[in-house]
Each structure stands twice: as C-alpha cells, then as structure tokens.
Structure 1
Amino acid sequence: MSSPRGHSPSLRSPLICFDLDGTLVDSGPGIRASVRRAAASVGLAEPDDEQLRALIGPPFPEAFRDVLGVDAATADAMMATYREVYGGGLLREVTVYDGVPDLLADLAARGDRLAVTTSKPRAYAHEVVAHVGLDKYLAAGVFGAEFDGSVEGKAAVVGLALAAHDGPVVALVGDRHHDVEGARAHGLPCVGVTWGFGGRDELAGAGAAAVVDAPAAVPAALDALR
C-alpha cells in the first residue's frame, strides 16, 4: 500500500498508531443500532445514551458484561446478534471526522508510517477504512481483533503493529482510556482526542501524554513526543 503524494516511508520510518472508532471515524450510528438489536434479542431493555456511549471503544463481548451487567452466556448471545447485524451492513454507517484526511495525509507526507490499531475485528476495520477511503494513508497496516479470540484487547492489537515495524514508534492516538492503557502496556505515550467518545476528563485521568481538541492539533502533540 503506497502512501499519498508519492512518498513511500520505509519500515524504519517513525510509526504512529491510530485508534479507529471515535478517532478517525464516527462509528456511533452503526454501533448504537447494532447494540440495540443485540439487547432486544436477549430481552434486555434498550440501553440508555450513557451506556451506548460507554460501549463504543472497549472490546465486545466483555463490554456487554461490564456496561450492561449481563452474564457471560447472555453477552455471548448478544455478540452473535451484534455480529450478524453490524457485519451485515451497519458497519458502513460511519463518517470520517472533519480534518482527519488532511491529518493523515500530512503525517504520511512527512515520512511517518501510519497504522490503525483497533479493538474491533480486523475484518471489520479493513472494510471500514476502505469504505471511507482512508486505507491509502495506512502504509503500516490495519490491525484488529480476531473473531476466534486469538487476538483481543487494545494491548494485544498494538503489539501486533509493533511486531510488524522495525523503526521508532512515536505514540498511539485515541479517544478512550483503553487506548491510553493499551499504549502504556508497551511503554508508549498516548495522545488523546476529545472529539470521540471518551472526553478530556477520561483521557487525562487515564494518563494521556497530551489531549487535543482537533485533528489539526495532533502533529504538534506528536512532535513534542518525538
């Protein structure tokens, strides 16, 4: 996969990892609709707005247990319905945040290698980034969880990206405390972004190295960490 503007960073170029949902794209509509269907399938009341917000970012089915208080069997049943409806088309109910394409293009043109590291299944992540046209910026690849459970959680996914890269790593950019914690598991700083689903207080409380309010502010935050 070539980078835009004709630049081809090597494996020794600095790596920057990006979360997907809430960082590069607003995936809220599709995820919320899928969660509502999953909850209804097991007879649960419709999750409220705060529960729906909390469910975007952390890995499923653990998030169903943690946020909705269901047992493991119920969470697994919800997961089956969620995958059926989300993978069936609702994953395409997504929009790119304003300023994100320019951010990725600028970083790639500077010689950085960019990767997605997401807790959502890798197959879904590949489809999303291709659907919205961000794949051309991601020379370092798209890394995510596996349906069979062999890879799950942010730390494991970040580990895959690092294993595929031979050069320096700058930071992970994300919107939830899970991103901060997943980066910290590998000794990496996290630049938190407030336009997603976590917010400044959550990110600062988790120990983000910096918290920014717009994509245009990300490069300066990353430069401070280089």
Structure 2
Amino acid sequence: MGIFSHIIFDLDGTLTDNTQGIKNSLKYALQQMHVDGYDENILERFIGPPLQWGFQTHFGLSERDTKLAVEYFREFYGENGWHQNDPYDGIMELLAELDAQGKKMYVATAKLEKFANKIIRHFEMDRYIIQLKGADYHAKKATKDVIIEEVLSMQQLVPSKEIIVVGDTVYDIDGGRKNAISTLAVGYGFGNEEELRAANPDYFAEDVDELYEILTA
C-alpha cells in the first residue's frame, strides 16, 4: 500500500454529500428556463462535471441559455443549496487522523470556488485543508486536470506517486493521471462504479472505511 505525503480531495461525492442541494438548485434553474418533463434521475449526472457541460449535454441548451441556466443555479445554490449538504460518515475522523500523521491535504473541485470555500468553512474542514481550488466564475478553469495542476503549481509540488488525488468520478482519475500523480476512486459517491473501474485508478475504496485504510497506511 502506498504512503502518501500529499492528498488532493474532490469535494462533492468524496468529502460531502451535496445531492439535495445540487438537485434543488438544478430544479430551480430548469424551472426558470421553462424546461420540464425530464426524468429527475438525470440530475445526478450533473454532480461532478462542470455545470456548463451538464446543461449542454443533457438538455441541449445553447451557449447563451447555458450561461443563463448556470446563473439561475448559482442564485439558488448561493442562498440555499450550498448548506443542504453533509460530510460522509467517518470523513471528519479521517481528516483529523491524516492531519495528526502530518499529511498535507488540499481540495480540487469543479464547484465554483467561493461556494466550495463556504462549505469547508461551514464544516470546519478548513482546519485541515491547506488550499482549496475550484472553478472560476466563467468556468474557464473548470476542468479537473487544470484545477489539480493549479494546486500543484501554487504549492510548488513536483508531481510524484507520493501525491494522490481522491475522487468519485472519472474526471478526478483522468485529472490525476494527466498530472502524473497517484489516483484513488471512491465507490460511495456519485460516479458510476463500472466507469470508475474502467478508468483504471491506482486504488479503489468501496467506502470511507477502505479509504481510511488506504490513506493512513
């Protein structure tokens, strides 16, 4: 089992379960865009990738309408959705143990950075997280590989297998691989397990207990 000195976590689906907040924000945005008659299960596919990709891919919105839908999403999320959220059972204990072991921890998320910062402060994860990087307001830096690269660059970290990214989607695994660091997929989040395993992460954790075993080894 690898020994990791630096750990880059995804946020939604990895540290916290923000299902309800994201779904409610999406419902509000789609209502404002007069989009109806959709299967609500499709909303789960928005969790992980950039919002812009979700609106364009799943609802075929134009670039202009996508920008408007994202604004409506952020309007609701900024007021209500961000705190309709909970850390997964065992996550706070894991962060505390990793901190006690001297591990350096970061967050790389496709969520808008200002919302992600509110979440980690709300749950007091900021006592453990050295740096959080998220998407900028115009989503010019929303892809996971770019966000991870920014964390590495700003922390002056040379890519190595002692640095690991932990996430619940293929975007996290691909982002880690493109930056030449170790990758760990979690099976308890929002990603499709078959797709995650097909992405060939270096490690796979079915639940937080397995994640604990891998990261604290």
Q: Output the TM-score relative to the length of structure 1.
A: 0.87
Which of 178, 196, 217 is the matching residue for 2:189? 196
Following superposition, the deviation at residue 102 of structure 1 comes to 1.1
Which of 157, 178, 190 is the matching residue for 1:185? 178
CA distance in 2, matches of 1:41, 1:62: 18
CA distance in 2, matches of 1:92, 1:145: 19
Amino acid at match of 1:211: F
CA distance in 1, matches of 2:38, 2:100: 43
| Structure 2 alignment gaps of length 5 or more | none
CA distance in 2, matches of 1:174, 1:112: 17
For the 8 Å contact 1:39–1:46, the answer to whether it is kept is no
| Structure 1 alignment gaps of length 5 or more | 1-12
Residue 154 (str. 1) matches residue 144 (str. 2): yes
Worse-matched range after superposition: 82-91 or 93-102: 82-91
For the 8 Å contact 1:121–1:147, the answer to whether it is kept is yes
CA distance in 2, matches of 1:106, 1:18: 15
Query: Which residue number in structure 2 is paired with residue 30 of structure 1?
Result: 21
CA distance in 1, matches of 2:111, 2:47: 10
Following superposition, the deviation at residue 101 of structure 1 comes to 0.7
Query: Which residue number in structure 2 is paired with residue 85 of structure 1?
Result: 76
- Once the two structures are aligned, what percentage of the paired residues are identical? 28
Cα separation, partners in 2 of 1:98 and 1:46, compared to 1, 3 Å: farther
Residue 205 (str. 1) matches residue 198 (str. 2): yes
Which of 98, 101, 104 is the matching residue for 2:95? 104
Amino acid at match of 1:143: K
CA distance in 2, matches of 1:25, 1:46: 29
Q: Output the TM-score relative to the length of structure 2.
A: 0.90
Count of aligned pairs: 211
Cα separation, partners in 2 of 1:127 and 1:166, compared to 1, 3 Å: same
Cα separation, partners in 2 of 1:223 and 1:94, compared to 1, 3 Å: closer
